[in-house]
Structure 1
Amino acid sequence: MFDQPLATARTQVLAAKSSVRAPVVTTFFDEATFTATHVVHDPATLRAAIIDPVLDFDQASGRTKHTSADKVIAHVEAHGLTVDWLLETHAHADHLSAAPYLKEKLGGQIVIGAAIRTVQDVFGKVFNEGPAFARDGSQFDLLMEDGHGFRVGSIDSVALHVPGHTPACLAYVIGDAVFVGDTLFMPDYGTARADFPGGDARTLYRSIRRLMELPDETRVFLCHDYKAAGRDQFTWETTIGAERTANVHVHAGVSEDEFVAMREARDATLGMPRLILPSIQVNMRAGNLPEPDGNGVRYLRLPVDLL
């Protein structure tokens, strides 16, 4: 499945290693959802990408706010950045995306992996969406396939398909940095769960091993951090070398079968994320809320005794 695209992407990264540019990365951490939103820009051109932006949502009241997104906007404007890309690593199950709001305020294309169509098909059935809900990914501006090349300003970048947590997960290699979504966490915390519909622990292992083919010094930026036991601060940056040697779940020497047994046993003990039902409904629509009902009010569905 990955052999040829992986060889292409790896060749691109390694061949350019001597001239790889280092983007500037500024991170905004939302402690309510443990989510890191990254603003990535090319210092030469001031062109930028925003990765995994958060829309604040109070489930008890059903109200959204733009406090987190407005901090990102203030940063972009203060530094004179031009946003070309709003990159989603996957359809998140733990927070709502602020991509449409940021597009309205800053511009940029909303991007996700092409396999979002699979996610839309699965959850379109879960939420009993009618024919008005498109399952072709057309809510997004661009669907990236594995090995899709793009640029952040003058910085060469490539999307890598890294399924396992979800079918549509992408990692974005931007210069000397890779943004891995939920595929990996900090070395002391491990890896993401693989028990959501379409997830698979064996596939996740292979995706992680793929990422570990990147150079040791590659900076790794995570989508989440939960502070492993004994650590006092949230953190969201590590390196491929550190992940390869020290990740508690999947360091070098851990076999595929060992990882799958661990991951499946661990996942069986986990409850559902607090915001999974509203998050999936919104994020499979590229961060847009469902269309209003006849009374002008937008509603999110709550299936009972299903998940």
Structure 2
Amino acid sequence: MQPQIASFFDDATGTVTYVVYDEKGGHAAVIDPVLDYDHNAGRTRTHGAGRIVNFVREQGLRLEWIIETHAHADHLSASHFIKEQLGGKIAIGEQIRTVQGVFKKLFNLGEDFIGDGRQFDYLFRDGERFSIGQLDAEVLFVPGHTPADMAYKVGDAVFVGDTLFMPDVGTARCDFPGGDAHSMYRSIRKLLSLPDGTRLFMCHDYPPHGREPVWETTVVEQKQKNIHVREGVTEEQFVAMRQARDATLDMPVLILPSIQVNIRAGEMPPPEANGVSYFKIPVNAM
């Protein structure tokens, strides 16, 4: 059985959220939901996530999973909000513990923050199989962008997170803590070893000027056309390109608030005595 897939593009962050389901009235998973965040005002909204909630309800779906491909640095996760509205288990790869350890130190989170992944309902292992109603799914460990990235294969579709972008955009950066261009290359080769017709769904699209956002491609198209890692590009060539390119990139605008939410499975930092949650901004530490 092949999955039904509904896509929701967030213009502000270039992120694509997916609802993957077996049939109308059946079972579903949400992958990489986005919480709207006004960086200047420090204010969140749930307009985009509300579209997801409405779709799931309109289709009569039972939400089983809310899945993160990794702890994103470019948007705040709406996983907690989605769970409050629809139920389901929030899941991420088990290597999230590594990421939590790094950022616990950066943000000096103290003993109140336990970095063992307990904030999530479930931690996936590489190669693990699970179900979404009648759909069979498989977990693929694809580190490189971060040390904790996972891709999820559901039928003939793979949700690749930030490991790959559309062929005319290339690949994701590898200079975040724990990122590694060698690992990224090998992860991409793992994905591109799948059958040529396998559909690949991107987590983001940053379209070149003149092109509308798109987010679906295939293994064969990536092998033939990806500007960074098409067939014939060696690991050494890729690593040299990636390291040189990453050295020119600014940090994502939302990295500091995003990480503080996303390592908590979409929850805000605990409110202080006045009832308000605060983000920490480490100065001269990144």
TM-score (norm 2): 0.98
Determine if the alignment matches structure 1 residue 300 to structure 2 residue 279: yes
- The answer as to whether partners of 2:28 and 2:63 remain within 8 angstroms in 1 is yes
Determine if the alignment matches structure 1 residue 23 to structure 2 residue 15: no
Determine if the alignment matches structure 1 residue 264 to structure 2 residue 243: yes
Matched residue SS, 1:83: strand
- Residues 264/153 of structure 1: CA separation in 2 closer, same or farther (3 Å cut): same
Matched residue SS, 1:72: helix
Matched residue SS, 2:139: strand
Q: 1:197 aligns with which of 177, 182, 185?
A: 177
- The answer as to whether partners of 2:25 and 2:59 remain within 8 angstroms in 1 is no
- The answer as to whether partners of 2:130 and 2:137 remain within 8 angstroms in 1 is yes
Matched residue SS, 1:86: strand
> What whole-Å deviation, never above 9, does each CA across 1:191-220 have from its counterpart, x for those lacking one?
000000000000000000001111111111
- The answer as to whether partners of 1:44 and 1:154 remain within 8 angstroms in 2 is no
4+ residue segments displaced more than 4 Å: none
Q: 2:146 aligns with which of 143, 151, 166?
A: 166
Q: 1:107 aligns with which of 87, 90, 98?
A: 87
TM-score (norm 1): 0.92
Q: Within 1, Cα distance between the matches of 2:258 and 2:132?
A: 28
Matched residue SS, 1:130: coil
Determine if the alignment matches structure 1 residue 58 to structure 2 residue 38: yes
* Number of positions where the alignment pairs a residue of Structure 1 with one of Structure 2: 286
C-alpha deviation, 1:305, in angstroms: 1.3
- The answer as to whether partners of 2:64 and 2:132 remain within 8 angstroms in 1 is yes
C-alpha deviation, 1:228, in angstroms: 2.3
- The answer as to whether partners of 2:22 and 2:134 remain within 8 angstroms in 1 is yes
Specify the alignment match of 2:57 in structure 1. 77
Q: Within 2, Cα distance between the matches of 1:71 and 1:102?
A: 10
- The answer as to whether partners of 2:141 and 2:150 remain within 8 angstroms in 1 is yes
- The answer as to whether partners of 1:111 and 1:143 remain within 8 angstroms in 2 is yes
Determine if the alignment matches structure 1 residue 285 to structure 2 residue 259: no
C-alpha deviation, 1:44, in angstroms: 7.1
Specify the alignment match of 1:14 in structure 2. none
Q: Within 2, Cα distance between the matches of 1:304 and 1:170?
A: 31
C-alpha deviation, 1:242, in angstroms: 0.7
Specify the alignment match of 2:202 in structure 1. 222
Specify the alignment match of 1:239 in structure 2. 218
Indicate the percent of aligned positions where both proteins have the same amino acid. Answer: 57
Aligned alpha-carbon RMSD (Å): 0.9
Q: Within 1, Cα distance between the matches of 2:195 and 2:63?
A: 28
Matched residue SS, 2:12: coil
Specify the alignment match of 1:208 in structure 2. 188
Which residue identity is paired with 1:258? Q
C-alpha deviation, 1:241, in angstroms: 1.1
Q: Within 2, Cα distance between the matches of 1:228 and 1:194?
A: 21
- The answer as to whether partners of 2:24 and 2:59 remain within 8 angstroms in 1 is no
Which residue identity is paired with 1:278? P
Matched residue SS, 1:289: coil
> What whole-Å deviation, never above 9, does each CA across 1:84-139 have from its counterpart, x for those lacking one?
01000000000000001100111111000000000000000010111000100000
Which residue identity is paired with 2:183? T
Q: Within 1, Cα distance between the matches of 2:233 and 2:6?
A: 33
Determine if the alignment matches structure 1 residue 95 to structure 2 residue 69: no
Specify the alignment match of 1:18 in structure 2. none
Which residue identity is paired with 1:267? D
- The answer as to whether partners of 1:186 and 1:225 remain within 8 angstroms in 2 is yes
Q: Within 1, Cα distance between the matches of 2:20 and 2:227?
A: 28
Q: Within 2, Cα distance between the matches of 1:232 and 1:161?
A: 31
Specify the alignment match of 1:251 in structure 2. 230
Matched residue SS, 1:257: helix
Which residue identity is paired with 2:105? K
Gaps of 5+ in 1: 1-20
Q: Within 2, Cα distance between the matches of 1:286 and 1:302?
A: 20
Gaps of 5+ in 2: none
- The answer as to whether partners of 2:24 and 2:61 remain within 8 angstroms in 1 is no
Specify the alignment match of 1:12 in structure 2. none
